[in-house]
Amino acid sequence: MRIGIGVGDIAGRGSSPESQIAQIRALAEQGVRQVWLAQIFGADALTMIAVAGAQTPGIEFGTAVVPTYPRHPTALAAQAMTVQALTGSRLTLGVGPSHREVVEDMFGLDYTRPARHMREYLTVLGGLLRGDRVDVTGETLRVNARLTVPGSSPPSVLVAALGPVMLRLAGRLADGTVTWMTGPETLAGHTVPVLVQAAAEAGRPAPRVVAGLPICLTADPAAARERAARQFAMYGQLPNYRAMLDREGADGPADLAVVGDEAALVAGLDRLAAAGVTEFLAVPFGTREQIAETIGFLAARSGGRAGGQSDEPPGG
């Protein structure tokens, strides 16, 4: 199981673009091989990846995730292809429909048929990324276009999928899924089987399963879980995540956080790997010292160097 680290807004703490680029450079210096950036209500993730990619040639990037509703697939495809050309094909493009509360209440868009939207969106996006001429007339999209970006190659596309309908779409029309606040039992008994079966039925390769969870190396797990309960409280309130927490039998996000000493963290990672997770999206949290120590642990586990932390821990 590969290990990547979430930077900036994905950790629940807004930070400036300059700070996030500095965090990525620090992670690369430690030998971390993959970082993930969210597209929430702050800086544009793909723009930062284009800039960071020029400064950190040895690291891979992913978005977790870019909401689809506010971006027409031709615009997102052009941006992703440009990032691929500028970074030497180091992008994983994670996309997702977001949540009704965001799409309708904040963006003022219609969220009545998210599965239909995602099926048509992935059809258009996938074709454009492959360089095909796309001619689609659907219920949510009508596109007749082709894009050409010299030096680009199609990025791997992952879908933020939680329920069975979205998981089947991810298996049939994308390269896998990226989850957040989904526990190991749910991953093993629900997420992975549905996704793998859909990919097999579509004749696609074995899908990527990227699982994102908070993580903290600490001698005081109880205090870390209390912090996680405060920092990640909003994810226990959004219906889509709440459904996954309920499926896991978790009271809230703190129950899914991977916390404790090194042995406890290793055991937590092993549980995820046994569940069928191919990549762990680690979101370090805690005090500045704990974040730095957690990143050192993860860097060592992913083949990087455990030492050499910067003054400002990445993700802090």
User: pLDDT tens, 154-210?
Assistant: 999 999 999 999 999 999 999 999 999 999 999 999 999 999 999 999 999 999 999
**Right CATH number for 2-301 from 3.30.470.10, 3.30.1360.20, 2.60.40.1250, 3.20.20.30?**
3.20.20.30
**Predicted local distance difference test score (pLDDT) of residue 314:** 38
Arithmetic mean of pLDDT, 103-121:
92
**Predicted local distance difference test score (pLDDT) of residue 13:** 56
Annotated domain spans of the chain: 2-301
**Predicted local distance difference test score (pLDDT) of residue 197:** 98
**Predicted local distance difference test score (pLDDT) of residue 309:** 35
**Predicted local distance difference test score (pLDDT) of residue 34:** 96
Mean pLDDT of the chain: 93
Residue 133, CB-side half-sphere exposure with 13 Å CA sphere: 2
Is 90 exceeded by the pLDDT of residue 74?
Answer: yes
**Predicted local distance difference test score (pLDDT) of residue 236:** 93
Provide the 8-state DSSP code for 276. T
Strand segments, DSSP code E, in 225-306 are: 258-260, 279-284
**Of 310, 274, 279, whose CA–CA distance to 292 is shortest?**
310
Percent of the chain predicted with pLDDT > 70: 94
> Does the model's pTM come out above 0.75?
yes
> Taking a C-beta distance cutoff of 8 angstroms, is the pair 210, 178 a contact?
yes
Chain centre distance of CA 242: 18
**Predicted local distance difference test score (pLDDT) of residue 316:** 34
User: What tens digit of pLDDT does each residue of 178-187 get?
Assistant: 999 999 999 9
Lowest mean pLDDT among 15-29, 128-142, 153-167, 245-259: 15-29
**Predicted local distance difference test score (pLDDT) of residue 315:** 38
Is 50 exceeded by the pLDDT of residue 15?
Answer: yes
User: What tens digit of pLDDT does each residue of 261-282 get?
Assistant: 999 999 999 999 999 999 999 9
The token duo for 169 is 């779409």
Is 90 exceeded by the pLDDT of residue 220?
Answer: yes
Positive or negative, the CA dihedral 138, 112, 65, 175 is: negative
Provide the 8-state DSSP code for 156. E
Is 50 exceeded by the pLDDT of residue 305?
Answer: no
Binned at pLDDT 50, 70 and 90, residue 298 comes out as very high
Arithmetic mean of pLDDT, 76-84:
98
Is 60 exceeded by the pLDDT of residue 306?
Answer: no
